[in-house]
Structure 1
Amino acid sequence: MWEYEQPVNIIFGNGSINKLGKIIEDNGYKRGLLVTSKFFYKSGFAEKLKEDSQNEIIDIFSEVEPNPTIINIDNCAGIIRNNNIGFIVALGGGSVIDCAKASGAVSLTNDSIKKYHGTNLSLPNKSIPIIAIPTTSGTGSEVTCVSVVTDKELGKKTPIVSKSFYPKLALIDPELTYSLPDNITASTGIDVLCHAVEGYWSKGHQPICDALAVHSARLVFDYLERAYLNPRDGVAKEKLAEASIIAGLSFTLPKTTSSHACSFLLTSKYNIPHGEACGLTLDYFTRFNGEKDERVNEFSRLLGFKDANEMADNIYRLKKNIGLLVDLKHLKLTDNDILELVEKSKNANLMNNPIDISDDVLLKMYTTFK
């Protein structure tokens, strides 16, 4: 038995950002807040978008860190409450969109988002309407019900899942990714591959998400290195943007697994970008899962590889070719650091892996990266 739900309206295409004003007008949205990054605020693009909204966007919030924090979200939610905000436009990467989603939902309570962070308490199933406009081809956050939140005080980075997080509309304009630095294209692109692969082999897999995962992963293998080497390659950038949103659709219901489980401490403690942290272990877990789960080999064959080992070889080669980490030697990890990585990897995402992963497996893996 399986179910499929995707409530987000999607508009995809070059130049689609120009439709924003009409989208706001057609939906009758009033008193909007633009949530974005400092980059877009300083460049003037955020102000231009505000003007193009026919004055319906009344304020800009740009205090979003690369991994959105409890403080970022609570501050944004306070602005929403205090200014009677009626809708949100989220312009940026996954951090911005995650901040907007969590802020929009928690703003309708009197709570801090901390109350719902890793506590198993559920947010009310309602939110401020969000128009999500991704500027990276990576997280798929514009179509998911997940927001990854960091509590700096506790040193904790974990996802919150709530149906209230689904944006009302995702507006994907591949041209917004043309100016991305090469390292961001690489890191977010490997995150797309992780979403697709993990969504397929997840314990919660189902046939619609499986088909989406195959489509997305194939696009990443075909176009990520090309987009990295040629940042103005319009075809490659468009295909990566397509891969990103399709991968978002492929994992939002099945959820991610082992590679994401191992990424959180690598990001929160060692400052490795999220996508790169996820990609670090993807080839390892591809081999590990492929030894006992025939679905992983089946997935590999659907992508044109002989088996999971050949796909893992290609993942490793892709990471090398686009300048991503393939080990952790630069960190000079101690034995205690390794033990901490093992312990902090044991979270709900790890439990979603198709094959049980013991402490010994994690210890062996992290030791090979040392």
Structure 2
Amino acid sequence: MLWDYEQPVTIRFGCGRVTEIADVAESHGWENGLIVSSEHFVRDGTTDRLIEASNGRLTAAFSDFSPNPDVAEVDDCAAVIRARGHGFVVAMGGGSAMDLAKAAASIALTDDSIADYHGTGKAMPVDHLPLIAVPTTAGTGSEVTCVAVLTNRKLGRKAPIVSSGFFPSVAIVDPELTVSVPPKVTASCGMDVLSQAIEGYWSKGHQPICDACAVHAAGLVFDYLPRAVADGSDLQAREKMCEASLIAGLAFTLPKTTSSHACSFPLTNIHGIPHGEACGLTLDWFVRVNKNAQSGRVQHFARTLGFADADAMADAIHDLKTRIGMRTGLADLHLNDGQIADLVRISRHPNLYNNPVDVTDGMLEDMYRHLAAIA
């Protein structure tokens, strides 16, 4: 077995460490920084407080972007970076802020549009501005990955871009920033973590270091996600879910995700199901599909986590979704045959071909019809 491992991100983990942004910038000599964050952190004064406490290292904030950021919004942020001569970027938020900031910090050093690289196969430029990643949800693991998932609404396309330039220079993971995240968002983000871990493990690109991370992250989700959803002020649960998110990011960055993520894209784009919830919707189904692949690796994964076998783990995933208020089906959408066909067609995303079992259109149709309760 041949494999490589790379993780260039310096990680600072612990409660209260968001205050270290200025120290990080000063130690590296970075100046004139831009904070990319959601409107929520602008309205509640968080971005202003961080700018004021930065000893002049941070100078402005950018928050003009939507969930599932569009390529046009990336271009707008890059234009701001060019116009103001920003020297580094701080991405503070969930996956949307991280994805936009990663792409903008790279494309800003060119005259290109990020659309030139989105779903086109064209390699991203190597040069990029330094990036400090500060997650405020326990979900994407984006603070340690080289992936940015973007949307081109004009073309109806949502897809990841992978670039070594997307690795943040430093990740500051402060669990206290996640305490105010609502239960529904906490649950959806947690299902994304579990999907990343499990898919990273059974990916065709699996390797031993990422495998170990996947096992650790998945175990934390089963143990702590219900607590974090039930009581957002449970700081131990929040800390453990931040740990799970970060380590799941390490687990899937190199192997990449597979079937559940491939199916999540049309579920989110067409039907508006939040990304993590969409990933979790099909995860137990694909556990059963993949349970005997790779000479029983998925069975071993399940037993390592304390389950009797992969089927028992699939049952536990279904029970977890029920317990935390996530979807277990699509019957409420009243899908017709044409809509099922669209889901099947758009699920043939490149990630699907990373699944250890070849997934046919017939298998996808059976799954979607089952979820939609169509006989």
TM-score range normalised by the length of the shorter chain: over 0.9
5 Å matches for 1:158-237?
158-237=159-238
Residue in 2 that maps onto 1:85: 86
Distance 1:61 1:18 in 2: 19
Residue in 2 that maps onto 1:278: 279
1:19 CA displacement: 1.2
Distance 1:186 1:135 in 2: 14
SS at match of 1:133: strand
1:328 aligns with 2:355: no
1:360 to 359, 362, 374: 362
Residue in 2 that maps onto 1:107: 108
TM-score by length of 1: 0.99
Residue in 2 that maps onto 1:47: 48
1:215 CA displacement: 0.4
5 Å matches for 1:22-101?
22-101=23-102
SS at match of 1:121: coil
Distance 1:286 1:25 in 2: 47
SS at match of 1:136: coil
1:269 CA displacement: 1.5
SS at match of 2:74: helix
SS at match of 2:271: coil
Q: Stretches of 4+ moved more than 6 A in 1?
A: none
1:291 CA displacement: 3.8
Distance 1:356 1:297 in 2: 18
Name which of structure 1's ranges 98-107 and 21-30 shifts more when overlaid on structure 2: 21-30
Distance 1:301 1:8 in 2: 31
Residue in 2 that maps onto 1:2: 3
* 5+ long unaligned stretches in structure 2: none
Distance 2:162 2:23 in 1: 31
1:310 CA displacement: 0.2
1:92 CA displacement: 0.3
1:27 CA displacement: 1.1
Preserved contact between residue 284 and residue 314 of structure 2 (Cα < 8 Å): yes
Preserved contact between residue 204 and residue 356 of structure 2 (Cα < 8 Å): yes
Distance 1:18 1:31 in 2: 17
Distance 1:292 1:206 in 2: 15
SS at match of 1:269: helix
Residue in 1 that maps onto 2:149: 148
* 5+ long unaligned stretches in structure 1: none
Preserved contact between residue 293 and residue 356 of structure 2 (Cα < 8 Å): no
Residue in 2 that maps onto 1:349: 351
How far does the alpha carbon of each residue in 1:82-130 deviate from its partner, in whole angstroms, 9 at most, with x for none?
1111000111001100100000111111110000000000011121100
SS at match of 1:333: coil
Distance 1:30 1:134 in 2: 21
1:328 CA displacement: 0.8
> How many residues were matched structurally?
370
Distance 1:185 1:333 in 2: 27
- What is the one-letter code of the residue matched to 1:2? W
Distance 2:178 2:198 in 1: 23
1:21 aligns with 2:18: no
1:292 CA displacement: 3.7
How far does the alpha carbon of each residue in 1:40-99 deviate from its partner, in whole angstroms, 9 at most, with x for none?
111111111111111221111001211010111000010111111100011100110010
1:23 CA displacement: 1.2
Report the RMSD for the aligned CA atoms in angstroms.
0.7
Distance 1:92 1:268 in 2: 21
- What is the one-letter code of the residue matched to 2:313? M
SS at match of 2:291: helix
- What is the one-letter code of the residue matched to 1:225? P
Residue in 1 that maps onto 2:302: 300
Distance 1:26 1:161 in 2: 28
SS at match of 1:362: helix
Residue in 1 that maps onto 2:321: 319
